[in-house]
Structure 1
Amino acid sequence: MNPQSMLSNLVAFASVVGTPNGGLIDFIRDFLAGHGVPSVIVGGPEGDRFNLFATLGPVNVPGYILSAHTDVVPATEPAWKGDPFHLRAIDDRLIGRGAVDMKGFVAAVLSAVPQLVCMDLERPIHIALSYDEEAGCRGVPHLIEKLPTLCAPPVGCIVGEPSGLVPVLRHKGKAALRIAAKGLSGHSSRPDLGQNAIHALLPTLGAVAREAERQGQEGPMDAHFAPPYSTLQIGRIAGGEALNIIPDTAIAEIEARAIAGVDPLELLNPALRLVENDERLSAQVIASYPGLSMTEDHPLARFIEGLSGNAPLAAVSYGTEAGLYQQAGIPAIVCGPGDIARAHKPEEYITTAELHGAQTMVLRLGRALSAGKTAFASGRV
C-alpha cells in the first residue's frame, strides 16, 4: 500500500493533544480489521481518549512492538500556507500537522500491514498507538500496564519518533509541575489588607532557579547529552488582573529534564517541599516519564542498526515513551523517519523518501521474523 495515501488519511484527523481521538482510532481499527488483524482498545481515565494495540503473527511468543503516538500539537500558527489537516504535496515534501511527528511513522507501519499479513511470521509484530504523548506521555502508561494480558513479554520496542531512521540509544526523562497559589484580592494601595498570590510563589521559584544552577555546576554529568547535566526551568507564570489590584491567584509551570538514571521528579523536590509547608500553595504533577539508556552493544541496538542501515546515535535532547517501556522491562530504542527539527512548526513535513524508507524498515522487520530465519529461534535479537 502507498504510505502517502495512508498519511493523508491520518493527517485529516485533527487529533490535537488533550482532545478526543475516537474517530482516528476507529479508522485505524477498521483498517486493521479489513486485513484480518484484530485490535484491542485501551481507554484512559479521560473517557474520550484511547490507545490501540494490535498483533500480527503469534501472540504467545516474544516479538517486537512498533510504538507511536497519534496526537499532534495544535496548528494555530498563522504561517501555515494551507489547511494543516489536509496533506499537501509540494515536490517531495508532504506537508501537514503531524506529518513528521509522528503520523509519518504510523502511516509507514499501517501501509506495510497488507504485506506483513502475507508473511509467515514466527515472531509477532505488535502495533502500539498511544494518545496525549505531547502532554507528557499520558496515554501509554495505561497501555503498558495491560501488556501482560495482551501478549508474551516482548523482545524489544521500536519507538518511531523522528530520528532520520537513525537508532537512538538515550534520551533524557522529563517531569512537569504546576504550582498554584491562592491569595486575597484588594487595592494595591493597601497590601496589608490583602495577600499577594504572586509573592507566595516566589520562594518556590527561587528554589527551582537555585536547583537548576546547582545541577549545572555539580551534576551528576553524562557526556552523551547536551547539556551534559539535568536541567530545570520555569516555563510559564500567570496571575493578576491589573497593576493596581492585589493578585488573588497565580500559577507557575516548571519543567525538569533529567539525564538517564536520574528521576526527573526528584529534581522538583526542593519546590515540592516548600509547597507542602505553605497552605497557600498546591502542586500538581502534569507530566512525568523516565529517560532512556541503552548501551551500544545491546542486541536490540545491533538489530535495529541492521534493519535501518544506520549506526546508532548516542543521545537526543527530546523525550519519548521509550523510557517507560524500558522501565517496564522491555528493551526500547528510538528509530523513526524524518527530522525532529521540523516538528511543532508551521508547514511541518516529511519527505516521500523518508516515508517509504520507514515502510521499508518495517517490512525488513517482518522478513527478519518470518519462517526460516533461524537467528530468532532462540529468542535473541
Structure 2
Amino acid sequence: MPPELMLAHLVAFRTVAGRPNGALIDFVRDYLIENGVPFSVIAGPEGDRFNLFASIGPVGVPGYILSGHVDVVPAGEPDWRADPFTLREEAGRLIGRGACDMKGFVAAVLSAVPDLARRELAAPIHIALSYDEEAGCLGVPHLIKRLPTLCAAPLGCIVGEPTGLVPVLRHKGKATIRVSAEGISGHSSRPDLGCNAIHRLIPVLTAARAQSAALESGAQDPHFAPPWSTLQVGTVSGGQAVNILPAAAQAMIEARAIAGVDPQGLLAPVIAAAGEGVTVELQSAYPALSLDEASPLAALAAEISGQTPLAAVSFGTEAGLFQAAGVPSVVCGPGDIARAHKPEEYLTVEELHAARAMALRLGDRLAAA
C-alpha cells in the first residue's frame, strides 16, 4: 500500500488520546494478516485501548523495534480549513490531525511491511504501536512489560517522533501531578463560616515556585536548554465570583528532569506542602532518555537516516521508557515537532517517503548482517 494511502487510512481513525482505538488496531491487524506478519495485541486496563507488537524475521534473535503511538491530540481548533480527520494534499503537504505527530512515521513503516516481509532478515524488525502517549505515555508500559514474552531482548528501539529524521540521543523526563483542594462555600463577608479552597492551594503553589527557583542552581546537563531540570505550575482553577468563598480549586504542576534525575522526586517538596483538605494525584510520568554518542544504536540510526545525531531535544517521548526497560533507544522520525498540536498539521510527501526509505534501509542492514 502506498504510504500516502496508508496515512489517509490512519488519519481517518479519530484516535484522540483517552478514547477507544480498537478500530485502528483492527485495521492494522488485518493488514498484517494479509502480509503474513505475526503480531500480538496487548490490551490496556481501560479495556477499550490497545497496543500492538508485530515481528518481521526471527523473533528468537535480537533485533530492532520501530515504535510509534497511534493516538492524537484533539482537533477542535477553529483554524482547520477542512475536516482534520480526512487527509488532504496541498502543494506537497499531507494535512490532517496526527499526520506529523506521529501517524506519518507509523504509515511509513507499515507501508514498508510487504517489502520487508519478502526479505530474509538475519535479525528481526519489530513494530510497536502504542496508545495514549499524548496523555502521558500511558499505554506503552503495558507493551514493554510483555516484551520478554514477545521476542529476544532487542538491540535497540527507534521511536519515530518528528525530528526531521535526525537521530536524537537525549530528552528530559517528565512527571505531572493534579493538586485538588476542598473548601466550604459561603459569603465572602463571613469567611469564618466557610473555608477558601484557593487559599488551601497557596502553600503548594509557593513550594512549587521555590522549587522552580532552586532547580536553576541544581544539577545541570549542558546538552539541554535550559541545562537544568524545571518545574512549573501549568494551570490553576477555582471559584465562581469574588464574593463567594470557593469550595474547590485545582492546579496542574509538571516537572521536567535532566537524565539521571527522577522527575517524580522533583515534585516531593511540592507534595509535602499539601495540607489539610488538599489531595495530590500523579497524572503521568516517564524517565529521561540518554544515549551515548558512541552507542552502536547511534551509529546505526545515523547510517539509516543519513543524518548526524543531535545531542538533545526539549520534548519528551516513550524512548525513555524503553531505555529504562533495558532497550537502548533513540528518537528519529519524519516531520517537525513545531507543526504538531496545531491546526493544519502536516507532513510533506517527501518526508513520508524518506521515512519509508529509512525503514527499508534498516531491512537492508539486517539482511546483510
TM-score (normalised: structure 1):
0.96
The one-letter amino acid paired with 1:16 is V
Partner residue, 1:271: 270
Instruction: Flag structure 2 segments of 5+ consecutive residues without an equivalent.
Output: none
Written as runs of structure 1 = structure 2, the 5 A alignment for 1:1-381 is 1-216=1-216, 218-275=217-274, 278-370=275-367, 373=368, 376=369
Equivalent-residue separation in structure 1 for 2:257 and 2:294 (angstroms): 23
- Cα displacement (A) at 1:274: 1.9
The one-letter amino acid paired with 1:331 is P
Partner residue, 1:379: none
- Cα displacement (A) at 1:58: 0.8
Q: Percent identity?
A: 64
Q: Which runs of 4+ in 1 moved over 2 A?
A: none
- Cα displacement (A) at 1:279: 2.9
3-state SS of 1:133 partner: coil
Equivalent-residue separation in structure 1 for 2:140 and 2:169 (angstroms): 20
The one-letter amino acid paired with 2:255 is A
Equivalent-residue separation in structure 2 for 1:135 and 1:261 (angstroms): 23
- Cα displacement (A) at 1:238: 1.0
Equivalent-residue separation in structure 2 for 1:194 and 1:279 (angstroms): 14
Equivalent-residue separation in structure 2 for 1:305 and 1:53 (angstroms): 25
Equivalent-residue separation in structure 1 for 2:47 and 2:251 (angstroms): 28
Equivalent-residue separation in structure 2 for 1:325 and 1:67 (angstroms): 10
8 Å CA contact retained: 1:52, 1:130: yes
RMSD: 0.7
Instruction: Flag structure 1 segments of 5+ consecutive residues without an equivalent.
Output: 377-381
- Cα displacement (A) at 1:91: 1.1
8 Å CA contact retained: 1:195, 1:246: yes
- Cα displacement (A) at 1:348: 0.3
Equivalent-residue separation in structure 2 for 1:297 and 1:304 (angstroms): 12
Equivalent-residue separation in structure 2 for 1:306 and 1:203 (angstroms): 52
8 Å CA contact retained: 1:182, 1:249: yes
Equivalent-residue separation in structure 1 for 2:294 and 2:366 (angstroms): 21
Equivalent-residue separation in structure 1 for 2:218 and 2:132 (angstroms): 31
Equivalent-residue separation in structure 1 for 2:50 and 2:209 (angstroms): 37
- Cα displacement (A) at 1:192: 0.6
> Number of aligned pairs?
369
3-state SS of 1:369 partner: helix
- Cα displacement (A) at 1:75: 0.4
Equivalent-residue separation in structure 2 for 1:205 and 1:323 (angstroms): 28
- Cα displacement (A) at 1:38: 2.4
8 Å CA contact retained: 1:29, 1:38: no
8 Å CA contact retained: 1:164, 1:336: yes
Equivalent-residue separation in structure 2 for 1:191 and 1:76 (angstroms): 40
Equivalent-residue separation in structure 2 for 1:124 and 1:139 (angstroms): 23
Equivalent-residue separation in structure 2 for 1:258 and 1:315 (angstroms): 13
- Cα displacement (A) at 1:36: 0.8
